[in-house]
Structure 1
Amino acid sequence: MVDVSQHELVPEHTVLEEEALEEVLAEYDIDRTDLPKIKTNDPALPEEAEVGDVIEIVRDSRTTDQAVVYRLVIE
């Protein structure tokens, strides 16, 4: 079976630590539930991701070198 998460076109997905999450939420003045969602069955999610975790996704960008987005893991 192919591990999709290791494909070169899949951006880096990491579980955000609680301390870093608090900084992000404060910066954007939002709650965790206001974040866009990602399902637990998404093949790009790290193995350790659980429902309620926030995932940081770092994508390559032509204009800013890297674009960072956040997703809340849901069922």
Structure 2
Amino acid sequence: MVDVSDHELVPEHNILDEEDLDDVLAEYDIDRTDLPKIKRTDSALPDGAEVGDVIEIVRNSRTTDRAVVYRLVVE
């Protein structure tokens, strides 16, 4: 079976630890549930991702070199 998360076109996905998550939520003045969602079944998620975790996705960007977005893992 092919591991989709290793494909060169799939951006880097990391599970955000609670300390970093608190910083992100404070910076944007939002709650965890206000974040966009990503399904637990998404094949790009790291193996250890569980429902309720927040994923940091780092993409290449032509204008800023890298763009960072956050997603809440849902069922």
User: If the TM-score is normalised by the length of the shorter chain, which range does it land in?
Assistant: over 0.9
Give, in angstroms, the shift of residue 43 of structure 1: 0.2
Aligned to 1:37: 37
SS in 2 for 1:56: strand
> Which runs of no fewer than 5 residues in structure 2 stay unpaired?
none
Q: Which runs of 5+ in 1 are unaligned?
A: none
The aligned counterpart of 1:72 is: 72
The secondary structure found in structure 2 opposite 1:73 is: strand
Correspondences of 1:39-54 after superposition (within 5 Å): 39-54=39-54
- Corresponding pairs, count: 75
Matched, 1:9 2:3: no
SS in 1 for 2:27: helix
Residue by residue, what CA displacement relative to the aligned partner does 1:29-67 show, whole Å, maximum 9, x if unpaired? Answer: 000000000000000000000000000000000000000
The alignment yields a C-alpha RMSD, in angstroms, of 0.2
Which segments of structure 1 move beyond 4 Å, counting only runs of 4 or more? none
Counterpart of 2:38, as a letter, is I
Among the aligned pairs, what percent are the same residue? 80
What secondary structure is seen at the aligned counterpart in 2 of 1:69? Answer: strand
